[in-house]
Amino acid sequence: MKQAEFAKFYDQHVSRVYRFLFFRVNQNVEVAEDLTSEVFMKALKNFESFDPKRSESAWIMTIARNHLINYYRDRKETIDVDEVAFGLAGEDGRAAVVAIDDQAQVRRALAKINAKDRQLIELKYLQGYPYKEIAEIVGKSPGAVRVEAHRAMKKLKQVLDKIYVEPEATTEEAAS
């Protein structure tokens, strides 16, 4: 396996893996970087046995998901990697961190929609996968993915509109 082949694989997937992890560790940059490094080390050690007929995207995302589950398990936490996505820093049941800016509102809205819709939006609009690769990751046809992603965006917009119109009480308190 040539170095250049792995380098190309890394270049194509590093940002996506990083973002996947970043949004599931409360946007902690240090943790996301550590986990990303570990994921690619695992991928490097197993690259020789990777079947080129398989989807590279699906393969590396599976490694990332499993590694994330192991990370939380080592911290004595059992999590659902899709449910924990986009949780805002500090929102752990103890004290909610109030976020006023638009990006935090989008993250809040993403956390409120169902996991399947959230996954499609994340894969398409945050990680930038084309529909064909998303279809390989989720195991559906590209046509189905396109339709479902569009519907997911409509639902996200409805949730986001509601957040802007009805800010949470904690937001109002912080603003006053």
Partner 1 sequence: MSNLKRQLKKLQASSAPTDEFRGTLRAQLLAEHANLYPQARGFAWSRAFAVPVALCVVVMTMGTGTYAYASPAVTDGDVLYPVKQGIEEVEAQFYRSPEAAARFEARMLERRLAEAEYLAERREDIREQLNLVAEQLDLSLDRVEQLQENEELRTQIISRLENQTGRYQDLVIEYLEEATESEEATTGDLIEAVQDAREQIQESDLTRAEKAYLYYRVRPEILERFQELK
169 binds partner 1 (CB under 8 A): no
Considering the complex, what minimum distance in angstroms separates the CB of residue 67 from partner 1?
A: 15
* Stretch binding partner 1 (CB under 8 A), from 12-20, 51-59, 88-96, 167-175: 12-20
53 binds partner 1 (CB under 8 A): no
162 binds partner 1 (CB under 8 A): no
Q: Which amino acid is at 153?
A: M
Q: How far is CA 174 from the centre of its chain?
A: 29
160 binds partner 1 (CB under 8 A): yes
Distances from the Cα of 39 to the Cα of 32, 43, 84, 86, 153, angstroms: 10, 6, 19, 20, 30
Nearer to partner 1, 90 or 130 (CB): 130
- Residue 48's Cβ-count burial label (10 Å; 0-12, 13-18, 19+) is exposed
Residues 94-113 that bind partner 1 (CB under 8 A): 102-103, 106-107
Q: Are 39 and 60 in contact (CB under 8 A)?
A: yes
Q: Is 139 left (phi over 0), alpha (psi -120 to 50) or beta?
A: left
Considering the complex, what minimum distance in angstroms separates the CB of residue 98 from partner 1?
A: 18
Cα–Cα distance, 2 to 7 (Å, whole number): 9
Cα–Cα distance, 118 to 15 (Å, whole number): 18
Considering the complex, what minimum distance in angstroms separates the CB of residue 78 from partner 1?
A: 25
Q: Any idea what DSSP says for residue 80?
A: -
59 binds partner 1 (CB under 8 A): no
125 binds partner 1 (CB under 8 A): yes
Q: Using CB under 8 A as the criterion, which residues of the chain lie in contact with partner 1 when the complex forms?
A: 1-4, 6-7, 10-11, 14-15, 18-19, 22-23, 27, 32-33, 36-37, 40-41, 44-45, 48, 102-103, 106-107, 121, 125-128, 130-132, 140-144, 146-148, 150-151, 153-154, 156-157, 160
